[in-house]
Structure 1
Amino acid sequence: MSTELNNPEKGFPKQVQQTLDGSTISTMPKVRTTSGYMLDWDRNEIVKQLMKETQLADRFYGVPGITRDEAVEIAKDAEARIRKMNLKFLSGPLVREIVNCVLLERGHTEWRNIMTRVGASVYDSCEIDSGLGFESHDNANQLDNAETSHKKKADKMSKEQNLLLMPGNLADLHLNGDFHIHDLEYFGTRPFCQDWDLRYFFYYGLMPDGVGVQSSVAGPAMNAEVAVLHAVKVMGSAQTNFAGGQGFYNFLTFMAPYFVGKTDKELEQLMQMFVYEMMQMMCARGGQTVFSSVQLSPGVPKLWKNKPVVAMGKVWDGEQGTKRWVYGELEKEVRKAFRALMVVMLKGDAWGKPFSFPKPEISIEPDFMEEDVEFNKANPDVLSYNDLYRLTFELAAKFGTPYFDNQIPEYRGAGEGISCYQCCAYQFSANPTDDTQFDDKLYFRDGKHFSMGSWMVMSLNCPRAAYKAEHDDEKLFEELKYLMSKSIEVFRVKKKWMDHLLDCNRIPFAAMTPKDPNTGEKGTIAVDFDSLVYTIGVVGINEMVRYHTGYSIYESKDSYKFAIRVMYEMKMYAQKLSQENGIEIALARTPAETTAQRFAVSDLLHPEYAKKAECNMNGDVELAKRELENGSGKDLPVYYTNGTHVPPSADISIIERINVEQTFFPIVDGGNILHIWLGEGNPDPQGLQEMAMHIAKNTHTGYFAFTRDITVCKDEGYVASGIKECCPKCGSGNIDHLSRITGYLQSVNGWNAGKKQELVDRTRVDPKNMKV
């Protein structure tokens, strides 16, 4: 609510005039408008604004706008109220508030929601400028800078706007903590995330603004340096159109045509340029580094060996003046580039810190479980698959940087289709069964290419569903399905709004249709919006089961089986909803960096669920309750467990944890991750590799990471293993800690209190005891 001055100030003229009978009525002061002008009072301005702005009610609510006669009546009413107030100061926002009061009193809620203002109070704005207040720890990837302050103010306004404009019952479910609408600030303006096919840009070139008017248009890259820089700028440009992470599928294979003839030193320089550009390009949302990932295979996957190269503006299929050139001929280049990238990441930056981005998604594929003996003999200077994988485990042992994308389990469909993990552990795939154009995309016919991503993500408060069900199985399933059905309603709103923006060309980079370099005709659209999935995520499955059955998923076989039953019920219902609504719904473990805390806090605040929740959540519940009583805010050290995970604090062996969590990977087809938290000792890369290959070959685990905690001295630039209270070199307390928060490596200083408490609670594995 706007705060207005209501006291006379020295120098202000009296705002009254005398009538013929000697009585007085107030006159109207000038109006200070938000557009930056001082204007005379004119009641007709209210009429004009009402008639203009309430037209939006038809688009968002299906309610017609106001008539002129109604607008005149409301304007008169508002003017009369303002005259009675005898104000010495009048602003546009105050006039708007008074008009909105009149609208509410007359029962016009939809018009009021359209006419109201959104944003931050002056106090809240100042707090945001100081790095405090609104969502100051909502995203650990955000930095402490002026752009972040600007983004937070915009976020606050956009979130309020989007909640006001969507149906009230859906907004209430979010605000009450029954479910969570992720990236609410971008709900009405952007899709969520995207995994890109680099061949598109190596054929068409680069048009960063998507339309070619406000930025320079580059033709297809003709050499390695330009190809690397184009890849970087694709990631950066896409951040302006998407709310979440950006990734490159099959990165090195598609880059390989540009690496022909390069020495190891030259490849290391190219990979160094790529990594530093990604980590130093502070151009993403709120001035942060680009949230990025690259899928890395140690050789050319068999699916791509006989497919034509797409590079330098050509499809090298032997037609239109090109030679036939296939990716299988670039095995050497892919292996050497893989090695070069690992060497760069092993070295770290100038301080010796790890690179957080791009996230290296190491693809463990059936194609590379056996060596190509003939190739190895013919190329003794090129590392084998095993040696290349070993470099990734050296990197895991040193920094915990890599993520392992296990495509060996049958459900991943390796070799038949394509699949990748991206962003904060979301999984996307394409296969010939579901995609009639799959073969055309493999061959890049008529510019057809792979476009994998998500429209948006919802998360369900699964523990609250259990509190409502009160140990009744059917009521629990009914509540979860109800929340999933309501999520569909949110998806419909999102799609409707986004269709409007697409018509207005407000997502230009993703919707670009660049000129074909060979025909001069308009090319294929960059993102196939119809192929984007809708993601429904789960949070707190362990706490849901623990309340419902009395035991955590790892404490009882019955609880474990019940968790599996719940997830299958949800998966089948997701498939049913997909068929009924003609969309693809993916069930996922959402990262829940903030949501795992937000749901727990929401339940503590709810009079009906508080007593049930405080005995069922993780963290320091007593401290959280005291802080709530003291009015210290809602960034509290409590949380629910992410997705289907065993609680981080569970005192069980890593083998037991894997055996429980691996079961859920085939069910949550939208993405999942297994975390292995390492202690402070120095892991043996050989031990990590043996552990990883055991996981890959003998479990359903589709995605996992080994996490190292690191201390960085900001005075000395010294990097040490583990969580230290001070710098072990100079004793300085000016330090920061790095660890993996949900699905990426980042500074602990940016974490919320719930995730900081989880960091303390984690049961870590002794690196010396990594035998399977």
Structure 2
Amino acid sequence: MFMNIRKRDGREVAFDETKITDAIFRAAKAVGGEDRQTAMELTLNVLKMLKKTYNGNIFGVEEVQDMVEKVLIEEGHARTAKAYILYRHQRTRLRDAKSDLMDAVEEILAETNRENANISNSPSAKMLQIASAASKKYYLTRLIPEEMSQAHVRGDVHIHDLDFYGKTLTCIQIPLGRLLKEGFNTGHGYIRAPKRPTSATALAAIILQSSQNDMHGGQSFAFFDRDIAPFVENATDDETYQAMEALIYNLNSMHSRAGAQVPFSSINLGTETSEAARRVTKNLILAYEAGLGRGENPIFPNIIFKLKEGINLNPGDPNYDLFQLAIKVASKRLNPTFSFMDSSFNSEYGDNVSYMGCRTRVMANRKGPAVTDGRGNLSFTTINLPRIAIKAERNIDKFYKLLDETLDLTFRQLYHRFKVQAKLKVRDMPFVMGQGLYMGSQGLEPNDPIEEVIKHGTLSPGFIGLAETLVALTGKHHGHSEETQALGLEIVAYIKGKVDEASEQYDLNYTLLATPAESVSGRFVRADRKEFGIIPGVTDKQYYTNSFHIPVGYPISVFDKISLEGPYHKYCNAGHISYVEMSSPPVKNPEAVETIIKHMKASDMGYAAINFPVDYCTSCSITGVIDQDNCPRCESPEIRRVRRITGYLSTVERFNDAKVAELNDRTIHKF
């Protein structure tokens, strides 16, 4: 009857009516039908309508499918029609995903995606990102329930590290002391316990790299000073320094993930008071101060100096001199950052709380001991808080109703991901699980599932753009007035309460994250601008403000900013960080830096840092603030500009467009 049909790509191919019968019969079987003869009769009706409608003219696949739906409905096969329409929709999603994937591959081949500022433009990085793009499309179209995947696609929420959805976990605080004491196996043979500091730090770097290859997020040592101390007890300062220098060199050059990036490494220290532990802390900070081979600012590790009264905070404390050294180096190199063991939410754990550079914090545990070592975040998903506020149209009751709906979806999506992750086996994470890094994994066999292990981890809803949310609701953000600050605290406290309820409902460690928004800060605002247009103070920039922060361009004093942001830290038990911006490295004013840090402590912060420009000429090695395109000494244009992004350091050329816009908007906080 018909010779040809037009495919979706424009090609004409031979017409095959059996494909219509197969599709109808497939839909019928989906609702319990078993009569292929009926499917053949319905096909004849479709052919008759096609002949009548097109009268010998060629038609396309979509026109045939439209006709099939029409015939099924008119002939009284409503349930079969519904199944056919659903199948057609699913096939459309798959075709769109394949098309989008090819577009993504084309873009990646031209230049690596800058969602992650720690990934280069190398061939291995491109291959990794092509695999990542394919993985994302698979999970969105084949694994994640459509309600949840479409919420991500629309921009209601952002499922972080989507490409690793069912492959692995986010991050871990590595039990370094045990691994160094017992030895470990990276897959090619057993590595025995070290005896000297240089061997110990070399193995520490290998451990970080091996763990990073099993995970998609950060790798951290919670008690580096304590864990390395046994290996420096009989070592000189010079030998200890050489070991720490080697560690820093390794962590800035030892790549993981097929050579695409160095490990996201963090090191916590500062509260151990033994002579050996003090030697570890002192020499690591000094080696970081010296920089890399030509004096370049190291990017990794992120050093986190833990502050606690009676140990290092005040004159007379045994490690106060190390605090002074940390201030000196932070004023030059942006690291160390500072965590506060005496905050209202950390003090019950003594000095045992540790952070990661991205801000992640894991402590309380409804499934076992409340410890840091051997635990981490399993996954996190960020809600688009400004979008909820825009939709609420300044109606607070409507805002909370929409917020409840989005939070409920997020809790269910995180639980879905947990159940997917729980099906992984030890052999799927051969180092993290196979070598017993994760709490409860010691003694498991390669084919054992990991559900009983990962119950100790955390599932974290996050949020972004509190400032824009408040503007959408009231016309002002929390830097403007006490009333909007009170509303901001009310909203975040409300979210924390709902997260606690989810912990009870699912009997898992749900925690609230002040999201380290890198790619999502631009992604959300682009989606909202497309849907709602330009809204002053809300969608009129290229990014949403990170978590609960005061907008980066708002003129405010150092102390006012700290005082306003401090109260939010206690609600964000999955992680938080605050910064203050300075115009240049405050190397000549350590007293001011100490005053700022102590005000952070007094404002009940958990984790904080100071920011300023660090520029470096790769031609002549001059370091400082270079506020012009060329080096003032040698006129070279090769300037390496180091800035902090979402907790970690990176070079500006690796920032995505949204983060570049945010960087350009950052104002200096008045002191």
Match of 2:433 in 1: 511
Displacement of 1:171 after TM fit? 1.1
Match of 1:170 in 2: 148
Verify the 8 A CA contact 1:477 1:569 in the aligned structure 2.
no
Match of 2:52 in 1: none
Verify the 8 A CA contact 2:180 2:194 in the aligned structure 1.
yes
Verify the 8 A CA contact 1:150 1:286 in the aligned structure 2.
no
* Shift in CA distance, 584/682, structure 1 to aligned 2, threshold 3 Å: closer
* Shift in CA distance, 140/658, structure 1 to aligned 2, threshold 3 Å: same
Q: Which residue of the other structure, out of 684, 687, 707, is the alignment partner of 2:611?
A: 707
Measure the CA separation in 1 of the matches of 2:89 and 2:107. Answer: 31
Measure the CA separation in 2 of the matches of 1:480 and 1:285. Answer: 40
Displacement of 1:296 after TM fit? 1.2
TM-score calculated relative to the size of structure 1 = 0.73
Q: Which residue of the other structure, out of 553, 566, 583, is the alignment partner of 2:478?
A: 553
* Shift in CA distance, 109/450, structure 1 to aligned 2, threshold 3 Å: farther
Match of 2:58 in 1: none
Measure the CA separation in 2 of the matches of 1:719 and 1:128. Answer: 33
Matched, 1:127 2:127: no
Q: Which residue of the other structure, out of 480, 491, 496, is the alignment partner of 2:419?
A: 496
Measure the CA separation in 2 of the matches of 1:69 and 1:297. Answer: 75
Gaps of 5+ in 2: 1-6, 48-60, 69-80
- 3-state SS in 2 of match to 1:368: coil
- Please list, as runs of the form range in 1=range in 2, the aligned pairs for 1:341-352 lying within 5 A after superposition: 341-352=284-295
Q: Which residue of the other structure, out of 75, 84, 87, is the alignment partner of 1:108?
A: 87
Match of 2:265 in 1: 292
Q: Answer with 351-360 or 411-420: which moved more.
A: 411-420
- Please list, as runs of the form range in 1=range in 2, the aligned pairs for 1:354-373 lying within 5 A after superposition: 354-369=297-312
Match of 2:360 in 1: 426
TM-score calculated relative to the size of structure 2 = 0.83
Which residue identity lines up with residue 405 of structure 1 in the other structure?
A: S
Measure the CA separation in 2 of the matches of 1:413 and 1:338. Answer: 22
Match of 1:538 in 2: 463
* Shift in CA distance, 590/286, structure 1 to aligned 2, threshold 3 Å: farther
Measure the CA separation in 1 of the matches of 2:627 and 2:170. Answer: 33
Match of 1:411 in 2: 345
- Please list, as runs of the form range in 1=range in 2, the aligned pairs for 1:342-741 lying within 5 A after superposition: 342-369=285-312, 385-413=319-347, 415-416=349-350, 418-430=352-364, 437=369, 450-502=373-425, 505-512=427-434, 528-606=453-531, 609-611=532-534, 614-617=535-538, 621=540, 638-680=542-584, 682-741=586-645
* Shift in CA distance, 725/765, structure 1 to aligned 2, threshold 3 Å: farther
- 3-state SS in 2 of match to 1:680: coil
Matched, 1:161 2:138: yes
Measure the CA separation in 2 of the matches of 1:659 and 1:722. Answer: 31
Match of 1:321 in 2: none
* Shift in CA distance, 6/589, structure 1 to aligned 2, threshold 3 Å: same
Q: Answer with 506-515 or 156-165: which moved more.
A: 506-515
- 3-state SS in 2 of match to 1:639: coil
> What does the per-residue CA deviation read over 1:206-249, in whole Å, with 9 as the maximum and x for residues that have no partner?
2224xxxxx22223334433322221111111112211111010
How many equivalent residue pairs? 623
Match of 1:257 in 2: 230
Verify the 8 A CA contact 1:356 1:401 in the aligned structure 2.
no
- Please list, as runs of the form range in 1=range in 2, the aligned pairs for 1:227-376 lying within 5 A after superposition: 227-284=200-257, 287-300=260-273, 331-369=274-312
Verify the 8 A CA contact 1:419 1:430 in the aligned structure 2.
no
Verify the 8 A CA contact 2:101 2:134 in the aligned structure 1.
no
Measure the CA separation in 2 of the matches of 1:207 and 1:120. Answer: 41
Verify the 8 A CA contact 2:434 2:444 in the aligned structure 1.
no
Displacement of 1:722 after TM fit? 4.8
Q: Answer with 488-497 or 353-362: which moved more.
A: 488-497
> What does the per-residue CA deviation read over 1:74-100, in whole Å, with 9 as the maximum and x for residues that have no partner?
9xx9xxx9xxxxxxxxxxxxx9xx99x
Verify the 8 A CA contact 2:307 2:313 in the aligned structure 1.
no
Displacement of 1:121 after TM fit? 5.7
> What does the per-residue CA deviation read over 1:583-633, in whole Å, with 9 as the maximum and x for residues that have no partner?
111112111011111111110111xx224xx31337xx4xxxxxxxxxxxx
- 3-state SS in 2 of match to 1:424: coil
Measure the CA separation in 1 of the matches of 2:453 and 2:321. Answer: 38
Measure the CA separation in 1 of the matches of 2:172 and 2:436. Answer: 19
Match of 2:169 in 1: 191
* Shift in CA distance, 575/113, structure 1 to aligned 2, threshold 3 Å: farther
* Shift in CA distance, 763/514, structure 1 to aligned 2, threshold 3 Å: closer
Verify the 8 A CA contact 1:120 1:153 in the aligned structure 2.
no
- 3-state SS in 1 of match to 2:583: coil
Q: CA RMSD in A?
A: 3.9
* Shift in CA distance, 499/428, structure 1 to aligned 2, threshold 3 Å: closer
Measure the CA separation in 2 of the matches of 1:589 and 1:734. Answer: 35
- 3-state SS in 2 of match to 1:420: coil
Match of 1:312 in 2: none
In percent, how many aligned pairs have the same letter? 22
Measure the CA separation in 1 of the matches of 2:367 and 2:423. Answer: 26
Measure the CA separation in 2 of the matches of 1:285 and 1:534. Answer: 28
Verify the 8 A CA contact 1:65 1:111 in the aligned structure 2.
no
> What does the per-residue CA deviation read over 1:315-356, in whole Å, with 9 as the maximum and x for residues that have no partner?
xxxxxxxxxxxxxxxx00111111111111111112221111
